Amino acid sequence: MSTPRRVVAGNWKMNHGPDATRSFFEALGSVPDGPRVAIFPPAICLPAAVGAPGRDARIELGVQNVHAAESGAYTGETSVAMAAEAGAGLVLVGHSERRHVFGETDADVAAKVARVLQHGLEPVICVGETLDQRKAGQLEAVLDRQIRAALASLPAGARYMVAYEPVWAIGTGETATPDDAAEAHGLLRARLREVHGGDSDAVPILYGGSVKPGNAADLMDALGVDGVLVGGASLKAEDFAGIIAAA
């Protein structure tokens, strides 16, 4: 059985322009050996991140979203080919805000995953339940539906990550307990094995939802949690460094 390498990823969402991006990497400096460290800046700031003078080359870079089409009349969108050419190696797909604010469906997510893999980038597939779904006892059903739809686009042996994001714990100050995270990650790991067998044991499953320096260690110690996808706490170099140290 393979053990996933621990991952600490920061999703800046619609924060930090090019100047702030360069300042962040200068303040963060080098990262320790061990965990994979990744940052998802706004797409317009990816060139600033790539060329940031102080960026440790071991810090991977990605984009927060792509369009499923190869090219075309899609004003304001970014293709996977563009992201790759600009220096992205990773792509967030199906983030809760894309699903619940912008109306992306499971089919949309599957199409994006397929396009990301076609260009040799690594998708980070985001899944998670709303508070109403959790209260209704639908955690397993929601995760099963979302992950199976996304995995339908993945051949065995494809390189990808999964991020569990309880929607009720994103930007709310609420955080899933380590037991909550362990339950969801256990369900997801079982689904990955059903679809792709033992090869999927090397796929990291990250927790995302109000991760902070103060709770990161406990969350990453939970059974089945292979790392974290950090939102607000990734905007300050000092906070993000603390989370990396916890890994």
Catalytic residues: 95, 165
CA of residue 85 relative to chain centroid, distance: 20
Helix, coil or strand: residue 209: coil
Which of 41, 45, 37, 36 shows the shortest CA–CA distance to 12?
41
Q: Are 227 and 246 in contact, with CB atoms under 8 Å apart?
A: no
Q: Are 15 and 234 in contact, with CB atoms under 8 Å apart?
A: no
Cβ-proximal residues to 3 (8 Å cutoff; 6+ apart), any chain:
201, 202
For the stretch 126-144, what's the b/e string if a residue is b when 16 or more beta carbons lie within 10 angstroms of its beta carbon?
Answer: bbbbbeebbeeeebeebbb
Which of 216, 247, 244, 227 shows the shortest CA–CA distance to 29?
244
Q: Are 24 and 44 in contact, with CB atoms under 8 Å apart?
A: no
Distance CA 189, CA 92 (A): 19
CB count in 10 Å sphere of residue 227: 28
